[in-house]
Structure 1
Amino acid sequence: MQTVNNFSQLNFRGDKSALADFLEVPVSDVVRWSNEGWYVEDFKIFSSEQDTPQYVLANNAFYSDKEFPLYYDDNAPDQSKPSLVFDIRTGEVYVEYVYGCPGVFFRTKFCFRLSKELSPEDISLLIDRNLDKFQKILNGSSVEYNGSEFVGRYSSEAESWVESLRESLINVEPSEDFLIHEDFDSFLESDPFGKKYNATCLSDIVRHLNIEIESNSYERCSDDLKNDPESAIISYYNWLLTDCILKPNDEVPDWVFEIEELSYFKKSQITLEV
């Protein structure tokens, strides 16, 4: 990484016209970049300042490519212990084993040490509960080129939120909080009619969903959902069929239309065919 001026000197003997021809841009652009301190990296031109993202992006621990749970090892070097990472250049919050990270050194990334063994559910809850604090850090941040590297700059308020998070996150214990489901929508989305497990009636759907939720120790159904799961499923089906969410090649099993509340859709279908 080097300034446009240095790149021109080293590769084109300071000939800005030659550099402009190489980059296929007007000479005036090269002159402006040189005067404003822009830099070159991998033959691409970048401004001396970078805009930070407007919003924080939380990476869901359930879909992380990292291995969970992350085990805390007292014998591991401090730098390699699992941490919650906040990258202000992308706005991302995620969990990673951090070791010798240049972004941390130049303060474009923050690492918040996690002192305990945390499950994906714990991590997701932890991130969700602190999103507003990460957002406040991002709001007070900027990234500037210091002549050799990009470095993070922060307002005094942002710095105070960084310290607050460092003190609180290291003491987070594994949680016993449960994710309470008020409906089955997220479970039904990919396979609404249970074709993958050969469902033949509404009871099969209910049974499968209960098993799926109960298999996760951090998830629970709300009391209403537990007492009347059929209504929640029928409500979802009604939404699918009414708003034509289904794709044209998606076939609705006959048993769905045998449900009294949904029989109207079958009659409508027959009327249209006639």
Structure 2
Amino acid sequence: MKQVRPKKNLGQHFLTDLSIAKRIADTVDACPDIPVLEVGPGMGVMTQYLVEKPRPLRVVEIDRESVDYLNENFPRLRDNIIGDDFLRMDLRTLFDGGQFVLTGNYPYDISSQIFFKMLDNRDLIPCCTGMIQREVALRMASKPGNKQYGILSVLIQAWYDVEYLFTVEPDVFNPPPKVQSAVIRMTRNKVQKLDCNEQLFKQVVKTTFNQRRKMLRVSLKQMLPADAAIFTEHADMLTLRPEQLTIEQFVELTNYVEHDYSINKN
């Protein structure tokens, strides 16, 4: 069968360097003994190394042409090639509802959505690895006080330890992307529950970072009335900008906001 044509509308950039493909595939070894789900295998450049590992492997691919290619070239995987949209899948139907490692050469334009789905299924995914746009990888791994630190940093690091593993140059892809790529690994930390309202936590993080150049007292006025107690009782914290707050401080801030919410409802 002829090779698959990369499709711009699917954000396909096929990795051509086999040594890098093997390095990415080997990142799953940090979380052994559980199955692997590869997202977007394309023509199987990583799949060929993953399939040799002594653990169950399934792959999910939205591109029909790629699915046909995989079925022809990976006959031993034929019953484990899923032609579907990962973002629409119920992940609990995979591997009998058990845990698995998530990996892949993720399309740039949906990588954040993939990781938000990972967060929603964090009890199923103790480890996630793969390749994404370098800029996104830097944001995910960034610490407070850094200009890359943002929404993705806080929401992911609340639940996962993030490692930036290595950079990948554009010339090892077909077609070459216009930006550098990077390989990351995320491993579940020991946090089982945040000490705050978790839905409100996400709202506070997104609201404050949407005005990241503003002090917290300015951005929080979108969520609370001007006379809310937080603006006087915690005025010092509210002179900070969101990029200066640790995850623990965001938890603390969320509790202050919820306290004022409850008062204003009564």
Give the structure-1-normalised TM-score. Answer: 0.24
Larger radius of gyration: 1
Give the structure-2-normalised TM-score. Answer: 0.24
